[in-house]
Structure 1
Amino acid sequence: MRALCGVLVSGSFIAVDWGTTNRRAYVIEGGEVASTERDDQGILSVPAGGFPAAVADLRARHGGLPMLLAGMVGSNRGWHDAGYVTAPAGIAEIAANLVSPVEGVSIVPGVCRDGGDGRQDVMRGEEVQLLGAVAAGLAPADALLCQPGTHAKWAVMKGGALADFTTAMTGEIFAMLKAHSLIGAEMAGDVDADEEFRKGVEASADGDLLAALFGVRAASVLGARAPGGAAAYVSGLLLGTDCRARVKPGQTVHLLADGLLARLYSAAIAAIGAEAVVVDSHASFVAGITRIRDMTS
């Protein structure tokens, strides 16, 4: 590691964001991304006992550089359980608790919340992006961050550290309703931040999500909703409920998202009188993983 104008810059290494279904590898040289590759070789694609070979193959393709892995690869369903650091946690706490299954390869731990209020929560992989967004100046040191997805993460950052967080099963509930519920047949059509989506966000203000969901079926039976709009309406209901539980009017939310999810959450947040600022999640990951590496070099 060397210093340029007082800023620490890592030596070359391979950073891997290894999730359940996908994997993205970055070759980082001097704090900058030299190359990247993405595939569908998430942890569910690796056969039993296959992680050492998968890691060795990936490492060999990129010059045998040291590797720093984050995400579900460090879970009890992945290669090696890297455990959890308890919030509040910053980059220093994460870096101090890396685990190394083999020489030259380390895994980032997750972060857990186990407060005296009886609520438990965990994250694994998202902590790198959340801390990286703040460390890189993409979000303030004191901020509310949201990382949408199957399991949306809402993080309260204080002094640059991950002070508290909540996970909402927003995306998973949508998928389950569409695939297995009474209203699944009605949930046709595309989802976007359109009029039906906004109607769903507005309806979420009533605070009766379960009744509103059954109302999707009733509206279909009675011909009160045009075909093809229910999926966007249900998405609005769920995202509206998610956002209203965590965002106050006038508040700013930094979204680590792009594409459709950025549009949907931005629209939902705006509808409840708050402001969304979209943050580059890939740049956040690179910043976070590089600073963790800096702490250990």
Structure 2
Amino acid sequence: MSDAFIAVDWGTTNRRAYHIDNGHVVSSERDEMGVLSVPPGGFPAQVAALRDRFGSLPVLMAGMVGSNRGWYDAGYVACPATIEILAAAVVESEPGVSIVPGVSVDTSSRVDVMRGEEVQLLGAVAAGLAPMDAMICQPGTHNKWATLQQGALIDFTTAMTGEMFAVLKAHALIGSEMGGEVDADASFDAGVAASADEDLLAALFGVRAASVLGRRKPGEAAAYVSGLLIGSDCRARLRQSRQTVHLLADGLLSRLYTAAITSVGGQAVVVDSHASFVAGITRIRDLMR
């Protein structure tokens, strides 16, 4: 079996494809052809187009492409999950095209699922980018907080932090107040500080009141609301002072979560999420051979 293959991190709204040879990325591309943008029956043609661009190579995919909203339901493996367990449960959607399963938490008291993030989480450990025992945060629309022990993913929690921000901005009463750019600035820091009151719903309505009474400048509310949401999310997970969080993020999300984690008493260590995915998917591919 050749060392070269095409890896695809195929999410709901975005897709990133890599031509990997002997563990090294030869080329990559990112587009907005998420699973919701693919018409019914259109996945084989999409994969064929990737092969036209990257070469006629085996394809290994992860993410929402393996969900009941994607191409082929690859199922879930239960926590605790290792990269070896994931590799053993990979399914084939068509000859030469395989999909990594997701990971689930399914207990009498709590259920949760992830797809795609598991490759990055376990890949970060496999590549030595995060320790074998770690708390890892993966910010996004549905933010993941994962606990790893001895290199195994033993538990995780999903928070709808990013989606809640989008819903509030598009549909809530305070949405019209949420103008301006979001960054790790003074308004964001104020939101993180306000999240200490643990009364998120009242604090959110306070955004409207502050606008009516002229207590907040136009253009500051979006960053403040982001701080409220991310601050609440971080406070719910970080119960120990100086707790270290390995952060699978870059760009704006890296800045926001680093600021919030630091503000609530934790320590953030930024990890390259793309390198983690490449390491994880390559290790899965190697274990399949």
Same fold by TM-score greater than 0.5: yes
Partner of 2:26: 34
Matched, 1:290 2:282: yes
The letter of the residue matching 2:130 is: A
After superposition, give the CA deviation of every residue in 1:60-112 in whole Å (9 maximum; x if it has no partner). Answer: 32221111011111000100000000011000110010110111111000000
Partner of 1:150: 141
- 1:57-76 → structure 2 map (5 Å cutoff): 57-76=49-68
SS at match of 1:189: coil
The TM-score, its normalising length taken from structure 2, stands at 0.98
- 1:1-297 → structure 2 map (5 Å cutoff): 11-116=3-108, 118-247=109-238, 248-297=240-289
The letter of the residue matching 1:81 is: D
CA RMSD of aligned residues (A): 1.0
SS at match of 1:14: strand
The letter of the residue matching 2:84 is: A
Distance in 1, matches of 2:100 and 2:93, equals 11
Distance in 1, matches of 2:185 and 2:31, equals 32
Distance in 2, matches of 1:290 and 1:241, equals 35
Cα deviation, residue 30, structure 1: 0.8
- In structure 1, runs of 5+ residues without a counterpart are 2-9
SS at match of 2:275: helix
The sequence identity of aligned pairs, in percent, is: 73
Cα deviation, residue 44, structure 1: 1.4
SS at match of 1:183: helix
The TM-score, its normalising length taken from structure 1, stands at 0.95
The letter of the residue matching 2:141 is: T
SS at match of 2:173: coil
SS at match of 2:74: coil
Distance in 2, matches of 1:269 and 1:42, equals 30
4+ runs deviating over 3 angstroms:
none
Partner of 1:5: none
The letter of the residue matching 1:178 is: K
The letter of the residue matching 2:262 is: A
Pairs aligned (count): 288
